[in-house]
Structure 1
Amino acid sequence: MTGDDSARAHSFGAVAAAYDAGRPTFPADALTWILGPGRLQILDLGAGTGKLAAVAAALGHDVVAVDPSEEMLSVCRRVPGVDTMVGAAENIPLAHASVDAVIVGQAFHWFEHARALPEIARVLRPHGVLGLLWNNYDTVVPWVRRMHRAMVGEDHLAGGDAFDPMPILLQSDLFAGVETARFRHWHDLDRTGLRQLAESHSRVAVLTESRRESVLEQVDAIYDSTARPPEPLRMPYLTSCYRTRPSDLANYQRTLDAPLAPPL
């Protein structure tokens, strides 16, 4: 991870309130596709303010949310039915084989994968599942593309902030059989909400105050020229999902490391 990436990765605590107010949730059908039926014990890793954890808890699962930011977790603790722990993907504060699923929403690209993937495999039970989700702006819509350009700049617009974890998962000997799916959903925003969404973006959060305010003024202008109050402005998203399970090697290594943990 570069210095710029590290700064962006650690920027979210300072904008926890804006992140929670402006960021969308995740589609319940996407999480159901990852988890399947039954009540599971789930780790939401890099949980942030609990957007994904809340969906899992609402579906009836037992959820523990882990994040390195105490500021983010202070918001997550308001989510009913979710336990929280401060911790990192590279050093998960849970026992061997203690969860049925690890889910990661909007965070896997921040992990140090060489350290995080063994930790994820360690805490998963033998037939557990790893699910990765990203909410990506649908930039086919012109005003969404303008907003994305305002936040990330022309240099980053071509590739956007989309991240493909497939090469990392396929190169790992700890996971096998990666499946993918995509789900469409919308997030309703008012003028303040759209500004908070921009404020929560890591590229905006690390800007100087004057440059950040310039970006936010552009976002306000986009809202003013696009929205039709009192109707909300509907931000369109495409949620990319990846589902995989521990390999035979990962399951074998886990049995060598430690006995199975009791239920949480």
Structure 2
Amino acid sequence: MPVVHKAAQVGFSTQAGTYNQGRPDYPDELSSWLRHTLGIDVQSSVVDLGAGTGKFTRLLKPLTDHVTAVEPVEPMRQEFAKSLPDTPIVHGTAESLPLADASADVLVCAQAFHWFANETALAEIHRVLKPGGRLGLIWNVRDESVDWVAEITRIITPYEGDTPRFHTGNWRQPFNGRYFAQPELTCFNYAHSGPAETVIMNRFLSVSFIAALPDPEKAAITEQLRELIRTHPALRGRQTIEFPYQTQAYLCRRLD
């Protein structure tokens, strides 16, 4: 079984509950994209790879009863089972899926593909998908044109080290024309609405490489985030904050 990156294994193990509380949901329009662009209907067999606590799996459940979740981190699977007890979730990684050949119509990865963006993973996903199958990649991307969002990025970025990140664009490299066509992008605007404790503190303390830090460094980041909330005019004294995101959804067509 391939090794899970340390930041994911440690960070997501220690912060599975916080992750579930702090991560944004998804725009309503994404359900239409799943139906019409990825082609999910009531008969579709769908795999949610890197399912985590099941935040994205909840969007799939109204579309089809044939959903299987795959997640390598045990505490995440435990959180998933609490909220989606009727949905099967199995231990596995993108490079070693415990699924039969040509057993899925669609495979989706939400907030996850950058962790395993390599040709071995794409070959394994290709194996599991049926001819004509579709791979869907989804990320909620912070809108850093907003100054206080950019300031959050400035606070956390020095700690990311070698952690795989969506913003580097390295996740595109395995799409070399062998297993899948080039990703086709659809964008949606989205705002995560809630108190600062949820949409900022829980959200960023559950970031993998932050959650995996030693306590003194984590405390320093916590204080910087709280100071931003206390002092920024757009955040100070607000009971509800609208955290702006752009949801990027990519269709990748399986090549036969």
TM-score tier, shorter chain, comes to 0.7 to 0.9
8 Å CA contact 1:28–1:55 kept in 2: the answer is no
The alignment status of 1:99 with 2:107, answered yes or no, reads no
The alignment status of 1:152 with 2:181, answered yes or no, reads no
Alignment of 1:150-189 (within 5 A): 150-153=155-158, 161-164=166-169, 165-169=171-175, 171-189=176-194
Gaps of 5+ in 1: 249-264
**Corresponding letter in the other structure for 1:7:** K
**Corresponding letter in the other structure for 1:8:** A
Distance 1:154 1:89, change over 3 A: closer
The alignment status of 1:214 with 2:246, answered yes or no, reads no
CA distance in 1, matches of 2:184, 2:86: 29
TM-score for the superposition, normalised by structure 2: 0.85
Q: Secondary structure at the match of 2:190?
A: strand
Gaps of 5+ in 2: none
The residue aligned with 2:247 is: 239
**Corresponding letter in the other structure for 2:27:** P
TM-score for the superposition, normalised by structure 1: 0.83
Q: Secondary structure at the match of 2:167?
A: coil
CA distance in 1, matches of 2:204, 2:71: 22
The residue aligned with 2:202 is: 196
The residue aligned with 1:62 is: 66
Alignment of 1:68-107 (within 5 A): 68-77=72-81, 78-79=83-84, 82-107=87-112
CA distance in 1, matches of 2:180, 2:73: 27
CA distance in 2, matches of 1:162, 1:173: 24
Q: Secondary structure at the match of 1:153?
A: helix
- What's the % identity of the aligned pairs? 33
Q: CA deviation at 1:229?
A: 5.2
The residue aligned with 2:12 is: 12
Distance 1:203 1:37, change over 3 A: closer
8 Å CA contact 2:106–2:136 kept in 1: the answer is yes
Q: CA deviation at 1:72?
A: 0.4
8 Å CA contact 2:159–2:210 kept in 1: the answer is no
**Greater share of residues in helix:** 1
8 Å CA contact 1:54–1:80 kept in 2: the answer is no
8 Å CA contact 1:152–1:203 kept in 2: the answer is no
The alignment status of 1:49 with 2:53, answered yes or no, reads yes
Alignment of 1:245-256 (within 5 A): 245-248=253-256
Alignment of 1:108-123 (within 5 A): 108-111=113-116, 113-123=118-128
1:220-245 Cα offsets, whole Å, 9 max, x none, are: 12222343656411111111121112
8 Å CA contact 2:114–2:166 kept in 1: the answer is no
CA distance in 2, matches of 1:166, 1:211: 32
8 Å CA contact 2:189–2:247 kept in 1: the answer is yes
The CA RMSD over aligned residues, in Å, is: 2.4
The residue aligned with 1:251 is: none
Q: CA deviation at 1:7?
A: 2.1
Q: Secondary structure at the match of 1:71?
A: helix
8 Å CA contact 2:230–2:237 kept in 1: the answer is no
Q: Which residue of 38, 42, 59 corresponds with 2:41?
A: 38
**Aligned residue-pair number:** 241
Q: Secondary structure at the match of 1:176?
A: coil
Distance 1:106 1:219, change over 3 A: same
